[in-house]
Every structure is written in structure tokens, then in C-alpha cells.
Amino acid sequence: MNFYGIKAIYNFEMSRMGRTLMQSVLSPVISTCLYFVVFGSAIGSRMGNIDNIEYGAYIIPGLVMLSLLMQSISNASFGIYMPKFSGTIYEVLSAPVSYVEVVLGYVGAAASKSVILGLIILATARLFVDYSVLHPVWMLSFLVLTAVTFSLFGFIIGIWADGFEKLQIVPMMIVTPLTFLGGTFYSIDMLPEIWQAISYFNPVVYLISGFRWAFYGVSDVHIGISVGMTLMFLLACMAGIWWIFKTGYRLRP
């Protein structure tokens, strides 16, 4: 294992976060704070409790997951797309590093940035609403697992995209709607039976449900199912990346 190669890629990607603090950190934190103000304070004060949890506190896991998914995909996809766009990807491919080490460097940095952002948002949420974390180890583990999984997914999107506009198609047109419909602002049990059944086909439901369980011990689906679905998606992303490097899909002319 070439740890120097992994470290070089990782440090390069992490340094980009320092150069773009406004875009990488401040912008998503401000956006999430607006959700807390509007839904947590303004609307939440007029809402009843859900599962005996104050509405403002109930939506925290969903809002953190929303930012985590978007930033994981964005960081990883942009990180691998730029070398493709500038042509420096061939230097990476010809360097004495395996594709495993390349993925570890790019995905590790993207996941690290997303986890840091998630923790900042959690700290910021204290300014707006009081909440507790019933299972902090599970919460952190689920945070890291989700960040790594969707960073791998973003890595695939970055390789697939052949233009800047395609980097935003999946996050904006697919992931964001699925997150809003995945129980971010409500419990699945509040829906009519037909919509409950449809919601279980939404993979984001299992992510938000598992993350909310780590906070309050309540969830729309069993925690084992949530973890299992996340691991299945993780394995699918790993298989997709293995196929990309095996075939050279959009990496070699």
C-alpha cells in the first residue's frame, strides 16, 4: 500500500476545502440554519410533537443528512472530475499508485470534509433548538458510513460526467427530492398507507431513519434494516468503481 500516494491525494483535496471555505463550509451551514429558522422555529412552534419529540429537534437528523448527502456527492464528484477536465488524470493513472489508493485518497478526503461539515451543522443546531443524542457512537458511525458511501457514489458521478452541468443533475434532480420525501420533515407513519408503501422504495428513508434512531431511539424502520440497506448501497458503489477501473470507462481514450 502506497501511503505516500494516498496522503498526497488526500492532502491536496483537503487543502481545497481551506481555499474555498465560503463555498465548502459557510454556504451549506447558512442554508441549513435557514431551515432551522423557518421549519424549526417559525413552523415548529405551531407543530405538535412527533413521537414525543419536539418538532424542531425531530428534523435535525434529516437536515444533517440532507447536507451530508449533497456535500459528499459534490466533494467527491468535483474532486475526480477536475483532473479529468484538466487532463491531469493521466498523471494520476500513470503514477505508482493502484486504483484502490486513488479511491482512498479522493473518497477519504470527500468523506472527511462531509463529516466535518455534519459536525459543524450539529453544533450550529444548538443555537436554535435543544436536542440530545441517545447513541453518540452509533450517530458518529452512521455519519461516517453515510459520508463514505455517498462519496463513493459521487466519485462514480464525477467519472461519468462529461460536463459541469452533469455534476449537478443527480444531486439536484434525484438526491434532493428523495431526501425531502424521505422523512426529513415528517414521520413516514404520518402518511396514508399507500404513500407509506411507496416511501419504503426510497433508499433515503433508511438513511434518515437510522440516523434519527441514533439521536432519539425512534425510527420508521428497524435500525438493522437501515444499516443493511446502507451497506448494500456501499457494496454496489464499490462494485461500480471496480468495474470503472477494470474497463477504463471514461478514464482512458
Reading the chain (253 residues) residue by residue, the pLDDT tens digits are: 778 888 999 999 998 887 877 777 888 888 888 888 777 666 766 777 888 888 888 999 999 999 999 999 999 999 999 888 888 888 887 888 888 999 999 999 999 999 999 999 999 988 888 888 999 999 999 999 999 999 999 999 999 988 888 888 888 889 989 998 888 888 898 889 899 999 999 999 999 999 999 999 999 999 999 999 999 999 999 999 999 988 988 887 6
In this prediction, residue 162 carries a pLDDT of 84
Q: Grid coordinates in use for 101?
A: 489508493
In this prediction, residue 140 carries a pLDDT of 95
What does the alpha-carbon distance between residue 207 and residue 130 come to, in Å, rounded to a whole number? 22
Asked if residues 138 and 214 have their Cβ atoms less than 8 Å apart, the reply is yes
Quickly tell me which residue has 479529468 as its cell.
84
Task: Give whole-number Cα distances, 103 to 50, 57, 77, 148, in Å.
Answer: 41, 36, 12, 11
Q: Grid coordinates in use for 73?
A: 456527492
In this prediction, residue 45 carries a pLDDT of 66
Q: Which residues are CB-neighbours of 179 under 8 A, at least 6 positions away?
A: 62, 65, 66, 69, 204, 208
Asked if residues 193 and 121 have their Cβ atoms less than 8 Å apart, the reply is no
Q: Is pTM, for the whole model, over 0.95?
A: no
In this prediction, residue 237 carries a pLDDT of 95
What does the alpha-carbon distance between residue 20 and residue 249 come to, in Å, rounded to a whole number? 30
In this prediction, residue 44 carries a pLDDT of 65
User: Which residue type, as a one-letter code, is found at position 82?
Assistant: M
